[in-house]
Amino acid sequence: MTDTDLLGTLSADESRRLRAARPGVELADRPMLATLSDRRDFPGGWIFERKLDGVRVLAVRENGRVLLLSRTGRRLNDTYPEIVEALEEQSCTDFTVDGEIVAFAHGRTDFARLQQRMGLTRRREIEASGVAVTYYLFDLLRLDGADTTQLPLRTRKSLLRRALAFRTPLRMSTHRNAGGSELLAEACAHGWEGLIAKRADSRYQPRRSPDWLKLKCSQGQEFVVAGFTEPAGSRVGLGALLLGYYDGDRLRYAGKVGTGFDHRTLAALRERLDELRASASPFADRVREPRTHWAQPELVAQIEFTEWTRDGMLRHPRFLGLRNDKSARDVVRERPAALRR
């Protein structure tokens, strides 16, 4: 079935929601984002997808070429050439899709393993890394020149499933039609990061929306790296990273992280932070750490932790890797939102 035939299967009401699509790069400029939530009771009308531990990537095929874009608009074709090739081989020639690129370790998505691919752009280095990636697709923004963002989510996912051929390294992100606390407990028992709950009739909105909710198994989010401490003993590179998040224009201090690093990562982080040296603390709060070096707040790290302390510090944080798909100024403290039931 051709792309046009697929659009022809829509109901009259759905067809009226279609409109001429803007260029693919413009349509992919602002992805829809999920809101952190502690909600566990869901009525009908929601679907539940696995929360993947990877990097958000939107893909555009238009005018004979494929373009992979990070959520901040960075071009990623050279980093994931096997994804580009898989999309170039599709019989469908005009689409914009949304998804997540992941790497697996021991049967689970592993951000630390994906980190080994994120900075590579030469084919020889990519092949030598031994890190295979998979692109899980979960939404369709454009098809055959038509903007599909106003269609219900269920309809978009149905079009996506039929428009593309899902062979390695492409996968369709499956979903469950019912869920809540029991489904989240099951996901956590399997070692997943959590679930994404989505309103089945929701439109695709270029913003953070309560129609998509993040249900997490454990605490974790991105933080800005704005300094480090000197290593002690036989440790190399650095002792700990100094972390923060933005509260308006102020960079608030959230504590330090000194675990989750290997020898190579410590050395590489020290080299990058030395290039970002700052003469004064970027933090709005006082940092009481000895042997401290400041850095321009440009690097973003993914951190796992158990909880926030009463004074706003991270408890038992662990470094998972650097992110290049999010701007430092977009890093804020994630709080479960008060949502309508």
Catalytic residues: 51
Helix (H) or strand (E) holding 234, with range, is: none
Compute the chain's Rg from CA coordinates.
21
> In a 10 Å sphere around its CB, with 0-12 CB exposed, 13-18 middle and 19+ buried, how is residue 64 labelled?
exposed
Distance CA 223, CA 299 (A): 9
| Residue 109 contacts residue 55 (beta carbons within 8 Å) | no
Q: What is the largest CA-CA distance in the chain?
A: 71
Which pair of structure tokens corresponds to residue 124? 């020889």
**Which of 247, 192, 201, 254 minimizes the C-alpha distance to 223?**
254
What does residue 24 show for φ and ψ, rounded to 5 degrees? -55, -40
Taking CA atoms, 272 is separated from 21, 267, 279, in Å, by: 41, 9, 16
> Other CB atoms closer than 10 Å to residue 280's CB: what's the count?
6
**Which of 332, 321, 335 minimizes the C-alpha distance to 54?**
321
| Residue 57 contacts residue 135 (beta carbons within 8 Å) | yes
β-strand 318-323 against 33-36: which pairing, if any? unpaired
